[in-house]
Structure formats: C-alpha cells, structure tokens
Structure 1
Amino acid sequence: MFSEPDDPAVVDRMRAAHAVASAALGAALCTQVPGGTREAWGWRGRTLGRPATGPYGPGWLRVVHSPAEKARGKLWTGPEDAERLVPRLVPRPRLHLVREWTEGDDAYRAELYDCVADGALSPSPVLTETPRLTAAWWSGLRTALGHLSTVRTERTAVRQAYLDRAMPKCLAFLDGPVPTAPPAWSTAHGDLHWANLSGPELSILDWEGWGMAPAGYDAALLHAYSLAVPGIAERVRMELSGILASDAGRFAELVVITELLQSAERGDNRELVPALRHRAEVVYRPGSR
C-alpha cells in the first residue's frame, strides 16, 4: 500500500471511479469490517481499494486505472488469471466479479474480492516493525510458495533481457563478473512484500504481476524488504533457508537487489541501499551459477 496521491485530481478521479464500480457490481462501502471505510492506495494512485458489501457478503472492492491504450497485458489480467490457474492451496482472497469500462482516454477495471479478515502485516512494502508470526504462518508460507512454484503459465514476472541489461550495471560494485543466467526458473507471485501478506492468518494479496521468474524470487524479495528489521531478515533466512541457501536462491537475491537498487535511483526506498549493497556482497560468488 502507498500514501494517498499528492495530486488532488488523481484522488478525485479514483474516488469517482470507485463509486462507479460500486454501482456496477452492486456493492456498497462497508463500515462493519475491520478498518471501516479505510482506503488502500496503489503506487501513484494507480489503484484504490476499499472494504465493501455486495452479492457475496463482506468483500474488498478494488479499482485499477490505466491509460486506455495500455489497458491490456499481464498487469491488467493478473488477478483474473490467478483466479483461474493458481490452486486454492495458495491462500488468497477469491476474486468474484470483474467489470471494465473506459472514460475518454482512461480505462478502469473493478475487482470484487472476498474480505480478508486479517489486515496486511505492514502499511508499506518495507518492513519497519516486527510482526508477530507463528510457526504455522511460516509453514503456510513455505507450503504456498512451493505450490505456486509449480503452476504452469506463460505469464512472465521477470524477463531474461532485463537481467542481461540491468544486473551488470546495478551490481558493478561487486568484485568480479556478474552472472545473469538463473540456475532455474519457476512461477512466482512477483511482488511478495509485507504489505501483500496478511496475518496472523496467512493470505497473499495483489496478484497483478505473477508469472515466471528466477527460482527463489519471492523469498528473495521478502528478505530484501525485511532488511530494515534485522531480526526479521534473519527469520526469513532461517524459515526460507531451503530456498535462499541454494545457488538459485543466492542468484535470486542478486536479481531482487538489482531491481531495488535501480528503483532507489528513482527515489524509492533509498534507506535500503546500504543494506542491499552489503547483502549483495555477502551472497555474491564470482563465477557461481
């Protein structure tokens, strides 16, 4: 989740679209679920979600915006694809209804989900406080990632061309050649951070960008977003050691570090940069696969 956009025009436009979506799906804002009428904003106001009641009872109504000419592709269809292809063994809110419409140059997509009883573990992707998580939660996460990794899909979360281009540039500070070929590929959620995980009952949220990625990508991403809380970062390494301690896991960490260092250049999560660079030096092995 992100802060409300600074541009009031974006805020007004998305709230108006949310009202249109409520009417189209027969849903209404709900004050009887945890958090009341809270708003959950996406990056730069691209999405707006709110609790709602509708044909399936308490739920979550999310509206996505895109320029009309770009309203297609994996980010547009990700949640619907996940509902069809990802087994229910991977805990997540069920997607019940979808509606799309355009207004001039703007395209919108409304999605009505089950209500998740427990909220996200963090208000932002980067963890800043220690969540209370049970052994069962961690076990459930390992199981979910295992089931997800075997899903067959043509969707792509990370592209080889990106790795070839970005890794040598962003990891140039490492002493030696930077590998760009993953030891293996598998299916990943693609955005597994603390604002997309609920607890104490595990649920994985926001399935826009899932698809094929270097094996271990999800575990590596969760670890990177934990670095500001060293105790949890250590817990992630311990609980997901079967993934992160492998050659594939170490490579996946370098991929994630590349992405986050690149986004930090644009101003995102700059506080993580020193820890990311240090972690890259820890996992890097010249010539390793």
Structure 2
Amino acid sequence: MRKPALYGIHDGTERNGTAYRAELTAFIDSPTCAPEPVLTSELELPETWWKSLHTDLQTIAATPTERVAVRRQWIDRALPQHASVPAPVDIDWATAHGDCHFANLTATGPTLLDFEGFGLAPIGYHQALLSAYSLLAPRTAARIRAEFPILDSPAGHTALLVVAADLLQSASRGDHPELIEPLRALVTSVAR
C-alpha cells in the first residue's frame, strides 16, 4: 500500500489537559488530486491509478484493528437527525481510511495521505466518501460509481447514507454548504 513512511510519533498533553499527537512522516512530492475535499473540477486519472487505489483500499479493509472510525451510536442518532432516514438494523464493518477524498490522494500513485481517522466503518465507507465528495464533478462521480460497484449494493447504500449524514451534519455547521442539495438528492436516491 502506498502511504507516507512513518518515522516517529510524539504524544503530549498541555497543562490544560488537551492531548495531542504529532507524527513525522516522509515527504511526498506528488501533488494531491484536489486542493480541498470537495471536488469541483473533473479528474482524468489513468487506469493504473484506479487499479492501485483498488488494491490499497482492499488492503486497508482487510487490516485488523480495534480502532473505530465511525461509531454505531453516532449512526443510530445521525441518520435520522441529518439524513432523515432510519439507521439500518444490520451493518457490516471493515477497516477504513476514515478520510478518503481527492485532497488526501496524490495525482501519481496514488499515495494515500492523512491516516489519523483510520478505523472500523461500514463496508464501502472509503468509496462512499470519494463518491459524496465528488458530487459536484459528475463525470468523476460516475467514474467512482463504475469503479466501485459496492456502492450499488445494500452495504454500499448504507455507507453512502452514513457519509451523507456525516457531511450534512458538517454542512449544518457551515462546512461545504455547496454539497447540501446534492447530498439530499443522494440520500433520496439510495434510501428508496
């Protein structure tokens, strides 16, 4: 899997009790595919890029962990509150990157960046994040749907609803308001 080499970790606590972690990783000189999480222009990426991403996401999903990226309790509360849909009764889980979008993927490789959100999430979570953050670039969003057929499965629909609820919650605080209407349309399309 392509990710920056980790050289060191330093954990600390401030006098006020705030805990932090600093990680020293290898410098990656390839630019990211996008400057921000929300993709606003179309991407033209080679087949080799997509094949490498498939391999990396499969490797992450198969990695055992006790870390949690998305909590079941949050899903049970957030889907009704932010996506206006009931939380699913059964969810299948796998390890996820936790923040998979084109600002965390390099144009060459790709190399996956920003692993602090790594942990268990609904199966298809990384693919659902890529899809949701790409809703303003319809050709790229269609490519993601074609590359990752899991998004058209019951597990993928669950992941899409979880991601939509997360991004709608974030939008309610002012983050990425341009995604609100496309996310609502996404929820309507998969919640049927």
Task: Count residues in correspondence.
Answer: 191
- 1:168 pairs, out of 80, 84, 92, with 80
| Unpaired stretches in structure 1, ≥5 consecutive residues | 1-89
- Deviation of 1:103 after TM superposition, in Å, equals 5.3
> 1:212 maps to what in 2?
120
- Deviation of 1:280 after TM superposition, in Å, equals 0.9
**Cα 1:278/1:98, change in 2 over 3 Å:** same
Aligned-residue CA RMSD in angstroms? 1.6
> 1:74 maps to what in 2?
none
Which of the pair has more CA radius of gyration? Answer: 1
SS state of the match for residue 97, structure 1?
Answer: strand
- Relative CO higher for 1 or 2, CA cutoff 8 Å, sep ≥ 6? 2
Matched, 1:133 2:45: yes
- Deviation of 1:126 after TM superposition, in Å, equals 0.5
- Deviation of 1:108 after TM superposition, in Å, equals 4.9
In structure 1, how many angstroms separate the alpha carbons of the residues matched to 2:164 and 2:142? 17
SS state of the match for residue 272, structure 1?
Answer: helix
Does the CA-based 8 Å contact 1:134-1:200 persist in structure 2? no
- TM-score, length-normalised on structure 1? 0.63
- TM-score, length-normalised on structure 2? 0.93
**Partner AA of 1:190 in structure 2:** G
Matched, 1:197 2:108: no
> 1:99 maps to what in 2?
10
**Cα 1:211/1:100, change in 2 over 3 Å:** closer
- Deviation of 1:107 after TM superposition, in Å, equals 5.1
SS state of the match for residue 198, structure 1?
Answer: coil
CA deviation vs aligned residue, 1:57-110 (integer Å, no higher than 9, x gap) = xxxxxxxxxxxxxxxxxxxxxxxxxxxxxxxxx210010122344554365543
**Partner AA of 2:112 in structure 1:** I
Does the CA-based 8 Å contact 2:42-2:138 persist in structure 1? no
In structure 1, how many angstroms separate the alpha carbons of the residues matched to 2:12 and 2:63? 30
Does the CA-based 8 Å contact 1:198-1:204 persist in structure 2? yes
> 2:175 maps to what in 1?
268
**Partner AA of 1:249 in structure 2:** G
- 1:151 pairs, out of 63, 71, 75, with 63
> 1:116 maps to what in 2?
28
Does the CA-based 8 Å contact 2:6-2:26 persist in structure 1? yes
> 1:248 maps to what in 2?
155
Give the 5 Å matches for 1:19-98: 90-98=1-9
In structure 2, how many angstroms separate the alpha carbons of the residues matched to 1:97 and 1:204? 18
CA deviation vs aligned residue, 1:184-229 (integer Å, no higher than 9, x gap) = 1111011101111111221000111110011101100110000011
SS state of the match for residue 174, structure 2?
Answer: coil
**Cα 1:182/1:118, change in 2 over 3 Å:** farther
In structure 2, how many angstroms separate the alpha carbons of the residues matched to 1:108 and 1:167? 30
**Cα 1:262/1:108, change in 2 over 3 Å:** closer
> 1:18 maps to what in 2?
none
Bigger Cα displacement from structure 2, 107-116 vs 271-280: 107-116
In structure 2, how many angstroms separate the alpha carbons of the residues matched to 1:256 and 1:147? 21
| Unpaired stretches in structure 2, ≥5 consecutive residues | none
